[in-house]
Amino acid sequence: MQFIDRLITLILSGIMIIGVYQFYFFTQRFTANRVKIYSSPLDEKIPYWPVWSWIYSFLYYPAILYLNWIIQDMRQFVLMAITFVSLMFMQMICFVAFPVATPKHWRTINQGKTASEKFLQLVQKYDDSSNCFPSMHVSVATLTALFALPTLGYIVFLFPLLIALSCMFTKQHYFIDLPFGALLAWLAYQVYVLIS
C-alpha cells in the first residue's frame, strides 16, 4: 500500500474508534435488565495497582492502530473494520442483556494521590463501572493480536495478556470478564475468516 492509503486507513481507524465508543456509552445508559454487581472472593484478593492504568489506556490504542501498518490492501482494511464492528455488535448484545458493574468500593479505593490514580480517575470519569461482562478491552486486544499474528508471531498475545492484567489491577473488571472477552474476539475473528 502507498503511504497515502495507510494514512487514510489510520484516519478512518481513529474515526471508527471514536464512533464505536458512542455505542459503548449508549449501552451504559440503556439496559434490558437490572445491572448486577458480584461479590467475588477471588477478585477481592487481586491487588489494586493503579500504575497499570497506563497499560490499560496508553498501550491499548497504539497497538490497535498498528494494524494499519500491516494491512496489505484496502479490501483487507474493510474486512478488518467489518470484523471489529461485528465484535462491537456482540459486545453490545451482552452489555444490554447481561449488564454487570464492578462494586462501588473498587472505585473509591482510588484516592487520586499519584499521577497513575489521577489518570485512572480521568478514565473512570468517562467510563462508568458498568459494561464489565465481557471485557471489551480484552476482546479488542485479542482480536488485534489475532490480526497481527501472521506478521509478528505468537509474541502478539502478550498484548491481550497485559491488557487483561491491567483490567484486574485497575479494578475495572472481574476475572470472569476476561476469558469471555477473549472468546468473543475469537468468534469475531471467525467472521473475518469466513468473509476473507
**Helix intervals (H) in the chain:** 3-29, 41-45, 53-54, 60-66, 74-97, 104-108, 115-126, 136-152, 158-169, 177-195
C-alpha cell at 124: 473512570
Q: Give residue-wise pLDDT tens across range 23-69.
A: 888 888 888 889 999 988 999 999 999 999 999 988 888 888 999 99
- Report the pLDDT value the prediction gives residue 116, as an integer from 0 to 100: 96
* Residue-averaged pLDDT of the chain: 92
Percent of the chain with pLDDT over 70: 100
DSSP letters, 78-112, are: HHHHHHHHHHHHHHHHHHHHS-EE--HHHHHT---
- Report the pLDDT value the prediction gives residue 4, as an integer from 0 to 100: 87
- Report the pLDDT value the prediction gives residue 129, as an integer from 0 to 100: 87
Region 168-196: mean pLDDT is 96
- Report the pLDDT value the prediction gives residue 181, as an integer from 0 to 100: 97
The total number of structural domains that make up the chain: 1
Domain span at residue 96 reads 3-195
For residue 169, give every residue at least 6 positions away whose Cβ sits within 8 Å of its Cβ, in sequence order, or none: 46, 47, 48, 49, 50, 52
Q: Give residue-wise pLDDT tens across range 129-142.
A: 888 999 999 999 99
- Report the pLDDT value the prediction gives residue 127, as an integer from 0 to 100: 83
Task: Grade residue 20 by pLDDT with cuts at 50, 70 and 90.
Answer: confident
Which of 127-131, 147-151, 181-185 is the least confident region? 127-131
Q: Give residue-wise pLDDT tens across range 109-128.
A: 999 999 999 999 999 988 88
DSSP tag of 144: H
Report the b/e string of 60-72 with b at 16+ CB within 10 A. beebbebbbeebe
Region 9-33: mean pLDDT is 85
- What does the angle CA 62 – CA 68 – CA 72 come to, to the nearest 5 degrees? 155
- Report the pLDDT value the prediction gives residue 83, as an integer from 0 to 100: 95
Task: Grade residue 3 by pLDDT with cuts at 50, 70 and 90.
Answer: confident
